[in-house]
Every structure is written in C-alpha cells, then in structure tokens.
Amino acid sequence: MRRSSIPGATNPLWGAFVALMMVATLLPLWTPWPALALLPGVALGILMMLGRSPSWGLYAIVFLIPFGNFRQLGGPLPEIKIHWVLALVLLVVLALRLLREQQAVGLLRSNLWPWWGLFLAVSLFSTLWSAYPLEAGQQVLLTLVAMAFFALVLVFLDAHALVRQLPVVIVVSVSLGSMFALIGYLFGVSWFAVEVGDDFTRSTGVTSDPNNLAMLIIFVLPFVVFWLAHGRRPLVRLAALVLLAINLGAMVVSFSRSGGLVTALLLATLLVVNARGLRPRHLGLLFAGGAMALLVALLLVPQGYWERQATLTASDTDRSINRRASYLVVAGDAFEERPLIGHGPGTFRELYAKTDWAQRFDREGATNRRFAHNTYLEVVVGTGVLGLICFLGLLALAARNLWLARRLLLARGDPYHAAQVLHYLLAFLFLLLYMAMFSDVFQKYMLLSLGVSQLWLRFALSASVEGRD
C-alpha cells in the first residue's frame, strides 16, 4: 500500500481533525443557519493567520473594547462575542508556543503574578462561604479570564508595540466611538444615544452606557495629548488636535458628571506635565489657545450640560446622587457583617436588591440589582479586606512598574520614551480614579495597563543594560 503524500496523514490525530472539520462543516447544512458551514473554515484560517502574527489578534481585541454594543456574532449565537473567539484562538496559539518555545515561558514572567494568585485565592475562599455561590463563581471565572488576558499581553506585545501600534489602536478605536457619540447626539441616531428623560438625550457611542463612554475617553486623552505635545511632525500634532476636540465633544454629550470632573482634573495635570519643557513663547501660545478653546466651549456646549454639572452639589434633590449614597450605606452594612473575606466576589447587586433602598429607588423597567458605582466597594463587599488589599496591591505594583520604567529611561537619557511612559501612567491612574465612581472590577483597559506596566519595565531594564554595555 502506498503511503499518503500528505505530511502527517498517517497520524491518528490528523485523521480525527479532518473528521471533526468535516462534521463541523456539514452539520450546519441541516439547520436553519446553513451559512454557519463557513465558520470552521474561517476559524481555521484565523488560527493559521494568528499563529503567524498573534499580536494582530490582540490588537483586534483592544480595538473592540469601546464597541460594547457591536461585538456579538448574531444569528444563532447572539451570546458569543467576537473578542471571546479571538481570545480563545490566541490562547490556543499561546499553548502551542509554550510547548514549542522555551523563550515564551520566560515572557510570562512578571512581578504581578503573586498578587494575581493571592486575589484569586481570596476570591475562591470567599466563594466557598458565600450565600450566592453561582454569582460568586461566575466572578471567579472572570478572574481567570482576566489573568489569561494579562498573559496574552505579556507574550504577544513587545516594546515596538508599546511605542507605536498600541497607542494608535487605542486612540483610533475610542475616537471612532466618540465620533459616533457626536453623530448620535446631533442627529438623534438611537444606535449611539439613549433618551433618559423628556427632551434629554445622552450619547453612548458604540458602548452600552454613557458613563462607560466617559471612562474610555478619560483613558485615551493622555495618549492624544502626548502626540499633541511630543509629536515629531506637524501633521501628527494637527491630527491630535482634531482627535482631542472629538473626544472632548463626546465627553460633553455623554453628560457624565463624574466624567466631566475627572476630565477637568486630568487636563489640568496634563497641562502641568507638558508645560515644563515649553519656552515662554510657547506658553503664551498655549494659554491663548486655551482661552479660545474655553470661549468656543462656552458657545457650543449645550446649556443642559452645565445645568447637569451643577446638580453635583444638589444632593438633597438629585435622585441619582441620593441613590449612589444608598450604595455606600448598603456597602457599609455588608462590610460590618463580613469584613475579612466578604460575601463572595460580585455579590453586591444581590445584597442591594434585598434592601429597602432598592425598593425606594425602584425604576420602572430597570432591575433592582444595582452595581455599587464604585469598583473598590464592589471588591471590599465581595472579598473583604483581604481581597481589597490584594486588588490594590496589584494596581499599586503596576503603577510602580511604570514609574520605575520612567526613571530608568530618564537615567539612560531617553526623555521621549520617558514622557510616553508617564502618559501611560496618567491614563492608568485617572482610569483608576474614575473607577471609584464606576463599577468594573475587570475593566479591559485596566487589565491591559497591568500587562503594559510589566512590558515597559522590561523594556526600560533591557535598555539600561544595553546602555551600560
């Protein structure tokens, strides 16, 4: 008998793979969705492509972060999201690379893993004693997913990505969402805006929530300002100026009060950071431009935006602020009951729904299972003091990595990359500040920043060694 000319055709695994592909391709032809017969072939093509250039798969996941309302596959698989599929393929590629290449194992090294492990252990222990094991178990699963994403960032991104591709992907994707937010508000497109009252519309962009849109814009602003202040070509600075206007405009039409407050603090910080190296003539131009921008803002910003910002001090009459105050009361009571390990990760909503506060602030068509609107409250209620220490330790060490990388780059005589690291750090820190007013324990830009902090430190250390050599 003549052997097959196909390499590996005699391997039983090869035969099983071919049989599986045939079944997966033919089976959908007898369903109401015959188009799914194309899916196995497409998935195999994606696997082969990402096997050669896995970083592009990671860029695609990062690009899709702002598109929360448009990531579903649709059809018979409405719950399956595109970034999940990409992440699963990348995990397969990562597993194969770890089996083949010893270098890939070294890329996984990070000083953040012990804190990840401790947070996971506390979450598991808290889940065992939780009155809501299903909800807590789902949160533990999300912790594992977050750790997997962290691993993908460590292995599939490098210094070149940090300096060039990654900022472009982040800025372009968020700015597209901001542009759609402006379109939704100006032209009443319901896909990109939501009506929250009579004659009151808040833009969501391509996210599911106006406050989430504000959070994304806060994270992206330092990257845009870095291009504006340190761009090496006039065209780059002009593009940055346009992108800054688009994102600030989207922040306004989101009508996010907390977003507006954090943005003001961020812009002031960015002004101080970038004004140090400017000459007096440039400072004059900067202040003149800032005055013109303020004048334009006063003319173009809707009056309703200023009226909504004014309600930040109207705690006696503003229902939203009073509702947020009730979250603090419920969180305080829950913490007193179980201060050490909490009630189980992700269980604040279940606790709140059973209180009188939930009935008092009941809204027609909305669930009483409300988030705490504070990520750190979610963590301390779910996993207690131990979980909060692990979570804050993880964030603090990531911030330290970025700060240390900046110091090393300055010592090496590389002010450009040191400034870039500083803007990464500001994006991370102000994201963490906003998370004190928004619940998202596994916010994707936060997870990305954790991995990026290790990559910047790795780059700075290697650059320092090369400089000494």
| pLDDT of the residue at 469 | 37
438: left (phi over 0), alpha (psi -120 to 50) or beta: beta
**Cβ-proximal residues to 86 (8 Å cutoff; 6+ apart), any chain:** 46, 50, 57, 60, 61
Q: Any idea which residue has 């990654």 for tokens? A: 166
Picking from 172-176, 361-365, 380-384, 395-399, which range would have the lowest pLDDT averaged per residue? 361-365
User: 14-47 pLDDT, tens per residue?
Assistant: 455 556 656 666 666 666 666 566 666 666 676 6
Residue 332 CB neighbours (<10 A): 11
| pLDDT of the residue at 101 | 81
pLDDT band at 104 (very low <50, low <70, confident <90, very high): confident
SS3 for the chain is CCCCCCCCCCCHHHHHHHHHHHHHHHHHHHCCCHHHHHHHHHHHHHHHHHHHCHHHHHHHHHHHCCCCCCCEEECCEEEEEHHHHHHHHHHHHHHHHHHHCHHHHHHCCCCCHHHHHHHHHHHHHHHHCCCCHHHHHHHHHHHHHHHHHHHHHHHHCCHHHHHHHHHHHHHHHHHHHHHHHHHHHHHCCHHHEEEEECCEEEECCCCCCHHHHHHHHHHHHHHHHHHHHHCCCHHHHHHHHHHHHHHHHHHHHHCCHHHHHHHHHHHHHHHHHHHCCCCHHHHHHHHHHHHHHHHHHHHHCCHHHHHHHHHHHCCCCCHHHHHHHHHHHHHHHHHHHCCCCCCCCCCHHHHHHCCHHHHHCCCCCCCCCCCCCCHHHHHHHHHHHHHHHHHHHHHHHHHHHHHHHHHHHHHHCCHHHHHHHHHHHHHHHHHHHHHHHCCCCCCHHHHHHHHHHHHHHHHHHHHHHHHHC
Tell me the C-alpha distance between 137 and 73, whole Å: 25
| pLDDT of the residue at 2 | 44
| pLDDT of the residue at 316 | 54
Provide the CB-side half-sphere exposure for 265 (13 A, CA). Answer: 15
Residue 239 CB neighbours (<10 A): 17
Mean pLDDT is highest, among 241-250, 262-271, 368-377, 427-436, for 427-436
pLDDT band at 467 (very low <50, low <70, confident <90, very high): very low
Picking from 185-189, 201-205, 357-361, 457-461, which range would have the lowest pLDDT averaged per residue? 357-361
The residue ranking higher by pLDDT, 284 or 3, is 284
Burial (CB count within 10 angstroms: exposed 0-12, middle 13-18, buried 19+), residue 369: middle
The residue ranking higher by pLDDT, 393 or 372, is 393
User: 393-402 pLDDT, tens per residue?
Assistant: 999 999 999 9
| pLDDT of the residue at 359 | 77
Tell me the C-alpha distance between 214 and 60, whole Å: 21
Picking from 2-16, 185-199, 383-397, which range would have the lowest pLDDT averaged per residue? 2-16
Q: What is the mean pLDDT of residues 359-385?
A: 85
pLDDT above 80 (res 431): yes
pLDDT band at 3 (very low <50, low <70, confident <90, very high): very low
pLDDT above 70 (res 204): yes
pLDDT above 60 (res 228): yes
Pairing relationship of beta strands 77-81 and 72-74 according to DSSP bridges: antiparallel
pLDDT band at 6 (very low <50, low <70, confident <90, very high): very low
> Mean pLDDT in the chain?
84
Q: What is the mean pLDDT of residues 197-226?
A: 90
User: 125-146 pLDDT, tens per residue?
Assistant: 999 999 999 999 999 999 999 9
Residues in the chain: 469
- Structural domain boundaries of the chain? 12-100, 114-156+319-464, 167-313
Is the separation of the CB atoms in 345 and 139 below 8 Å? yes
pLDDT above 90 (res 85): no
Q: Any idea which residue has 């032209």 for tokens? A: 187
pLDDT above 50 (res 106): yes
Q: What is the mean pLDDT of residues 105-126?
A: 96
Tell me the C-alpha distance between 367 and 318, whole Å: 20
| pLDDT of the residue at 33 | 60
